[in-house]
Amino acid sequence: MADINFGGTIEQVVTSQEFSLEKARRILKDETIAVLGYGVQGPAQALNLRDNGFSPIIGQVEGDAYWDKAIADGFVPGETLFSIEEAARRGTIIKDLISDAGQAKTWPAVKACLNEGDALYFSHGFSIVYKEQTGVVPPAYVDVIRVAPKGSGTNVRRNFLDGSGINSSYAVFQDFTGRAKERTLALGIAIGSGYLFPTTFEKEVFSDLTGERGVLMGCLAGTMEAQYNILRKNGHSPSEAFNETVEELTQSLIRLVAENGMDWMFANCSTTAQRGALDWAPKFRDAVAPVFEELYDRVKTGKETRRVLEINSAPDYLQSLRKELDEIKNSEMWLAGAAVRALRPENR
């Protein structure tokens, strides 16, 4: 492990320099890795494992779109592609990457397939931390571990292919075998993590749910919409409003932040932009702080979990979701976005 200074706080992180892929292969050589769920994280983690020399098997509902996707990706029914229960039965490491609501629904069947010494792996602490709502209580005779990539499945795969990797957190909830930590780290390296940092199941799920609803997705979407609407209200064209709200952020400024930090981005903008950013950042920080307080409280008390399980377990969930996403897609702002993207040189 390497000691890294994060803004004055020393944390221990794990990289492939300290924990090599070869070491991960040695630790996992006798394991059968079963990936349950081929929806969001499942394909990325399974394909990265396969490309790194492991032989994962997939558990998925036979005949659905995700089953067909697994076949298209080279997994073979009856050989490396099975029902969820059969894959769980065959695995010694069971990666439960089904949706949070789906994990609660399938848990009785998955639990019945666990054998003594198996490792039950998650990429999110949701089901374990909110066990009163999900009913997911692992038996005492298995390891319970987690590696949570800090990115969508799409980018877990993209970053693996370009060699950069997605950073991941890791945690051990239950160590039955005495090998839980080495199994966890080996799996983190095996899926191509850029580096691994320690946390707990509880801290991961609190930070993750807050981040998704906040800066990473919900706050980002809402703030973009508010600025776009103000510009349009004041007579700016859709193209101008979209470019000043989204395109410049995603195609220019956020890349500078990723490269060297927020101060670097500020330093590489005009002095007028710098002054405005420095003056207005505290105003936005103070304005949204109460919203984040409310958000974190709802996450911590399980109110957000109840909403997720209620909405995502509804029989018409996929249809309702499609309707909500289509409303965004067909809004003027994102229709303008589609037109702007089409004009990028690589798309012309």
Residues 6+ apart with CB under 8 A from 260: none
The per-residue pLDDT for 191 is: 97
Q: What is the DSSP string of 127-179?
A: HHHTHHHH-----TTSEEEEEEESS-HHHHHHHHHHT----EEEEEEE-SSS-
Show the tokens assigned to 4: 């890294």
How far is residue 94's CA from residue 35's CA, in Å, rounded to a whole number? Answer: 6
The pLDDT of residue 205: 94
What domains appear along the chain, each with residue ranges and CATH number? 2-198 (3.40.50.720), 212-347 (no CATH)
Give the chain's mean pLDDT. 95
Residue 10's pLDDT band, with cuts at 50, 70 and 90, is confident
Mean pLDDT across 176-205? 96
Annotated catalytic residue, options 14, 35, 91, 124: 124
Using the predicted structure, report yes or no on whether residue 224 has a pLDDT greater than 80: yes
Give the DSSP per-residue string, 299-339: HHTTHHHHHHHHHHTSTTHHHHHHHHHHHHHTSHHHHHHHH
Catalytic annotation present for 124: yes
* pLDDT higher than threshold 90 for residue 3: no
For the stretch 44-92, pLDDT in tens is 999 999 999 999 999 999 999 999 999 999 999 999 999 999 999 999 9
Mean pLDDT (whole number) for 100-108: 93
